[in-house]
Structure 1
Amino acid sequence: MDACEFDAWEGEAGALECGLLHLVAAAAASSANRPETVTHLARRRLGQLEQAADRAAFVLQAREALLKMSSLMGTPRTINALHALAAAVAPDSDLAQELAAAPMLRGGDDYSYSRMRARGMELFGAIYGRHAPTVERRLRDLCPDLAEVVVVDSYGHLLAESRRLGPRDTELCAVGCLVPMDVPAQLKSHCLGAVRLGASDAMVQAALRLARLVCARRP
């Protein structure tokens, strides 16, 4: 990938802060199963950051974004994307050491089924608004266990964790992740969810344009 291509992507996503732009693009590339693009994106962003602490913060956010998107794109593509992110970090041994010392966000001591269910329902309601009970009921009609897994595991345990990546930015990454999946109903829901969680219409449109550009690129 050359600098002109990156410049074009950044120009199309002007409503997104620079770091968020790279997270959304990485989510789209990962979902499209183009991990090499994740490596290029990470190298580009790391090259823009002068301070070691800022580089570490970006990689931790990128890890978190890709982990969260496993609920949408699946574990295999998430593993591929995290391998690609690690390849961008590998040349910087100091950064790799700092990342290795970073604490986990989801440990056994923090897990309580009832707590995860409660915070999952809170996020579910924030994203779907007044439609949340209807969406949950439809999931339960399809399969009661599906609704429980979505609320407790996907939303409560995975997506609602906000110490490294907040709800708004998580939803914008979800928008990017869903673009290559050809799931218009879910994409519409998460576009609306991003707005409900604080994104502007311009930010959502920028995320959509950026994801389409990333997916249109030849592997």
Structure 2
Amino acid sequence: MAPLQLFEEIRARGESNAETKDRWYIVAATAMAAAGAGPDVAELYQLTTKDTSLAEEKHIQRRLKEAILKTSILYGVPRSLQALLPLFSILKEEQIDHYGPRTEALQNGETQSERRERGRRHFDILWTPAAAQANREKNFKYQPDLYLLNLETIYELWLSENTILNPVDTQMCTTAALICSGSPQQAMWHTRGIVRHGGSIVMARFAQEIAFEVGKAYGCDVEKVVRVDEIDFDDATPH
């Protein structure tokens, strides 16, 4: 299937439901970046912003760039740049949305304790508090620097930042990225996280289905992923 046809089908499905209307393109973009299809994100962006106002284009651009940047910690910076740089190359000066929530927060005096609390809250909801604490303790016991990277840097500064993408947006994007980067167990955790952070089963299923379509189109193995209907959303077993 040609990319444009795939994108049009994803858009039609995404825009048919209020829960996925402003989310379909960020889920598709993160799946594509994870699948190594980053250069095609520029074509996705052009389809998404066709016939929109400049203000709406910048809204879409802001969300799409944040989604790719946020999920780059899961599949790697080189793949995120394969998506972002072609996108940057098609933007005219007046089209650029120049905003970075973390940069602005740091400039405005956001403290480490504020980031730590936000990251802790995000991780506790994803896992449930007891299982989240067990994860923290295991990380720190076996490799303190893993705790520094995973719990502090990734969750406090990146995943829990919610100015552009709220927690449900984030979990939908991480689910798609993990599916297309060959991480089925982690994809299951974050699919569960969509619902735990307040999303619906419909949204969880949508994120998975888009990732399956993108993954298959770009040659990813997605067969080991646990489907939504097989996930125990109440499971609090520490891993």
TM-score normalised according to structure 1 size: 0.87
2:39–2:82 CA contact under 8 A, matched in 1 = no
1:136–1:147 CA contact under 8 A, matched in 2 = yes
1:153 alignment partner in structure 2: 153
CA distance in 2: counterparts of 1:2 and 1:132, whole angstroms: 39
Matching of residue 125 in structure 1 with residue 130 in structure 2: no
SS in 2 for 1:18: coil
Aligned residues: 212
Please list every run of 5 or more consecutive structure 1 residues that lacks an aligned counterpart in the other structure: none
Equivalent residue runs for 1:12-161 within 5 Å: 13=14, 15=17, 16-47=19-50, 49-87=51-89, 89-90=90-91, 92-96=92-96, 99=97, 102-107=98-103, 108-109=106-107, 110-130=109-129, 131-161=131-161
Return the structure number with greater relative CO, CA threshold 8 A, min gap 6.
Answer: 1
CA distance in 2: counterparts of 1:216 and 1:32, whole angstroms: 9
- 1:64 deviates by 0.8
1:27-48 residue CA offsets vs partner (Å, 9 max, x unmatched): 000011111221121111011x
Percent sequence identity over aligned pairs = 25
- What amino acid does structure 2 have at the position aligned with 1:44? L
CA distance in 1: counterparts of 2:100 and 2:157, whole angstroms: 13
1:188 alignment partner in structure 2: 188
CA distance in 2: counterparts of 1:119 and 1:65, whole angstroms: 18
1:115-134 residue CA offsets vs partner (Å, 9 max, x unmatched): 32222111111111142122
1:48-86 residue CA offsets vs partner (Å, 9 max, x unmatched): x52211100110111111111122112111122111322
Please list every run of 5 or more consecutive structure 2 residues that lacks an aligned counterpart in the other structure: 220-239
1:1-34 residue CA offsets vs partner (Å, 9 max, x unmatched): 4653323333555555233101000000001111
CA distance in 2: counterparts of 1:117 and 1:111, whole angstroms: 11
SS in 2 for 1:106: helix
2:195–2:204 CA contact under 8 A, matched in 1 = yes
State the Cα RMSD in Å: 2.0
CA distance in 1: counterparts of 2:188 and 2:20, whole angstroms: 22
- What amino acid does structure 2 have at the position aligned with 1:118? E
Go from structure 1 to structure 2 and tell me whether the alpha carbon gap of 1:218 and 1:79 turns closer, same or farther (over 3 Å shift): closer
1:129-178 residue CA offsets vs partner (Å, 9 max, x unmatched): 14212222232233122112212211111111111111110110001100
1:174 alignment partner in structure 2: 174
